[in-house]
């Protein structure tokens, strides 16, 4: 049986080589784990521990998660079927599970389906009593007004992001400026804003709007394939992960980015012609191989030790790892 480890525990459970002052952390030899599966197969540095957060029966195909102000875990759950984005948008077989730790022992033991008949929910954010979801081609708000664990309000805040595959709409990510941020891959869009403006284009974009949907605007963009997740530094600066800053070559493809307002980013593609720029395409922050970034977090605590405070952690699908990144100015 597959086990689910929530994000905070995944960070503990998959830490890979990190570099501090040029000295790599010691990581066990993977060959010693041949044939080992489950939690026992997860390599962790000394002092860290991995524990079970929920049984996979509560959400067999988990993707994205967030907590609400009551400690409930909202978890997007895929259908598990091999379909392209257009098929997912047409059949709508995904859902969001609401997990609760009934006996308060630190393990989630009950789940209700908060909402079903979703296309491919690729991000959830709890804010002010509502769950905001990227459900391409829609950005939606869900609310449970009678507190029965099931959403009875389904509000489409915006729609019009084209769906081709999983390189579609992600988020939202709540920024320190009070705006909701979204990311969308290079599949085109045509969106009518709350103010009556039509936004149309083909490039990959970072988006933002207020929680009520007003003020929708394109923050930055480029010719890359898929901007995945975002995090915000205490300064308000935006960091994020993306795929295809270059067509695969020299062992490189994906990247960690420092996103700037109105910045235009690689890879070179005809879609960048729709943007205003005065120089070369903006650089990457850290270059990766074909890792398929699947999550991003900045650690704000001190329980891991002061040396971890402010570090970034990326989850990487293809190499099955979580990697630590130490930021320096």
Closest of 175, 161, 190 to residue 86, by C-alpha:
161
CB neighbours of 310 closer than 8 A, spacing ≥ 6? 298, 299, 300, 327
Domains and CATH numbers, the chain: 56-159 (2.40.10.500), 165-298 (no CATH)
Contact predicate 89/159, CB 8 Å: no
SS3 content of the chain, % helix, strand, coil (to 5): 10, 40, 50
Ordered per-residue pLDDT tens for the chain, 329 residues? 334 443 334 333 333 333 333 334 555 566 666 777 778 888 888 888 888 898 889 999 999 999 999 999 999 998 888 877 778 888 899 999 999 999 999 899 999 999 999 999 999 999 999 999 999 999 999 999 999 999 999 999 999 999 887 788 999 999 999 999 999 999 999 999 999 999 999 999 999 999 999 999 999 999 999 999 999 999 999 999 999 999 888 889 999 999 999 999 999 999 999 989 888 999 999 999 999 999 999 999 999 989 999 999 999 999 989 999 999 88
pLDDT at residue 26, as a whole number: 54
Q: What are the backbone dihedrals phi and psi of residue 102, each rounded to the nearest 5 degrees, phi first?
A: -65, -45
pTM of the model: 0.88
pLDDT digits (tens, 9 = 90+) for 17-72: 333 333 345 555 666 667 777 788 888 888 888 888 988 899 999 999 999 999 99
């Amino acid at each position: 049986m597959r086990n689910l480890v929530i994000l905070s525990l995944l960070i503990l459970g998959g830490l890979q080589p990190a570099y501090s002052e040029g000295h790599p952390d010691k990581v066990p030899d993977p060959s010693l784990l041949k044939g080992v599966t489950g939690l026992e197969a997860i390599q962790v540095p000394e002092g860290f521990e991995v524990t079970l957060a929920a049984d996979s029966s509560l959400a067999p195909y988990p993707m994205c998660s967030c907590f609400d102000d009551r400690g409930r875990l909202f978890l997007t759950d895929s259908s598990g079927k091999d379909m392209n984005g257009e098929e997912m948008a047409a059949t709508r077989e995904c859902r969001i599970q609401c997990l609760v730790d009934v006996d308060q022992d630190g393990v989630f033991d009950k789940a209700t389906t908060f909402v079903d008949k979703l296309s491919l929910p690729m991000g959830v954010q709890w804010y002010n009593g509502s769950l905001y979801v990227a459900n391409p081609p829609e950005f939606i708000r869900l609310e449970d007004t009678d507190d029965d664990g099931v959403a009875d309000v389904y509000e489409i805040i915006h729609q019009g992001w084209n769906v081709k595959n999983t390189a579609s709409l992600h988020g939202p990510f709540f920024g320190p400026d009070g705006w909701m941020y979204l990311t969308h891959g290079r599949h085109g869009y045509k969106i009518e804003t709350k103010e009556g403006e039509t936004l149309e284009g083909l490039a990959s974009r970072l988006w933002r709007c207020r929680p009520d949907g007003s003020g929708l605007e394109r923050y930055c963009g480029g010719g890359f394939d898929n901007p995945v997740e975002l995090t915000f530094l205490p300064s308000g600066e935006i960091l994020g992960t993306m795929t295809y800053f270059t067509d695969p070559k020299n062992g490189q493809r994906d990247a960690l980015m420092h996103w700037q307002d109105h910045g235009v980013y690689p890879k070179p593609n005809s879609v960048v012609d729709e943007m205003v720029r005065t120089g070369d395409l903006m650089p990457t922050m850290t270059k990766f191989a074909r890792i398929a970034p699947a999550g991003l977090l900045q650690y704000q605590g001190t329980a891991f030790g002061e040396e971890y405070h402010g570090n970034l952690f990326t989850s990487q699908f293809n190499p099955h790892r979580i990697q630590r990144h130490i930021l320096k100015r």
